Structure 1
């Protein structure tokens, strides 16, 4: 499987949205525990228009991961270093797509002078971020009725 990561375009929004929604529904059971109210709150704004806004946001950088013309992942980070979204399709979980998305976001952040990335990790993604150099930063917070662990990763000096 050859994963290609490229900057996201407005036309990627529907497929990226589908990846985000399926990832939440199928991969994040440790977080939503099948609770319909939690899922409804988490998924409420996960629409193609929501994703399109991230892609078009001038203070953000968004990428898609693709295999054979199929979108399998989406990631976005603000120029401040806040990773706002990083999701992969359930079918490619643990196959390098998340790593490729995160690497692209890190490279871009370092290139524009960001010294550290920050995010709020779900329980599901916490081990992934720890494996990729993030550390917990402060106590967990409640977001969409689920626990989010603030995390931080210092980027390499000089990009």
Structure 2
């Protein structure tokens, strides 16, 4: 299945639709992570209000992007903080595995580079960790999220490396020794 979408910077006017997207993604897409733990789900959804999302989008210390479908509906969102944290990266369950999450994360990583951020980190529910690992994030192990769910702490360096993988060609303008 193919789905067309556009990645664009989020605006406070997107808050209501983004809030609905977050809640649906967590309730349905995150079911494996909160199933049987209503207190975890309630805590996870606790700050997902339209007013909070509008504040997050309007903050100059955040950069938020959304994936907008051809019909104008939001399919996903990603929020980066100036501290180098991917605070949100959610995709509607029906838009999973269509490149939406990867495109959102790429946009956030590109913006992080404009802020001279060298390393990103995030907390992921276990069900989504493999996605981030496929995008080059390293799983540093388990931690407990602020809402009481076991999560994986992941990080990624945004600095170009001069080290070569076996069989890889040396970069033409590499400044490393060797």
Same fold (TM over 0.5): yes
Comparing both structures, which one devotes a greater share of its residues to helix? Answer: 1
Q: CA deviation at 1:79?
A: 1.3
| Higher Rg of the two aligned structures | 2
Conserved? CA contact 1:141–1:150, under 8 Å: no
Q: Report which structure shows greater RCO (CA 8 Å, sep ≥6).
A: 1
- Counterpart-to-counterpart distance in 2, 1:52 and 1:34: 30
1:103 corresponds to = 106
1:60 corresponds to = 62
- Counterpart-to-counterpart distance in 1, 2:56 and 2:67: 16
Tell whether 2:92 aligns with 1:89: yes
Conserved? CA contact 1:73–1:101, under 8 Å: yes
Change (3 A) 1:142 1:109: closer
- Counterpart-to-counterpart distance in 1, 2:124 and 2:156: 12
- Counterpart-to-counterpart distance in 2, 1:35 and 1:28: 12
Greater mean alpha carbon deviation, residues 148-157 or residues 95-104 = 148-157
Q: CA deviation at 1:156?
A: 3.7
The count of residues paired between Structure 1 and Structure 2 equals 157
What is the root-mean-square deviation of aligned Cα atoms in Å? Answer: 1.2
Conserved? CA contact 2:142–2:150, under 8 Å: no
- The one of 70, 80, 83 equivalent to 2:83 is 80
- Counterpart-to-counterpart distance in 1, 2:52 and 2:125: 20
After the TM superposition, which segments of 4 or more aligned residues of structure 1 sit over 6 Å from their partners?
none
2:15 corresponds to = 13
5+ residue gaps in structure 2? Answer: 161-178
Q: Give the alignment of 1:129-144 within 5 angstroms.
A: 129-144=132-147
- The one of 55, 69, 74 equivalent to 1:71 is 74
Conserved? CA contact 2:123–2:145, under 8 Å: no
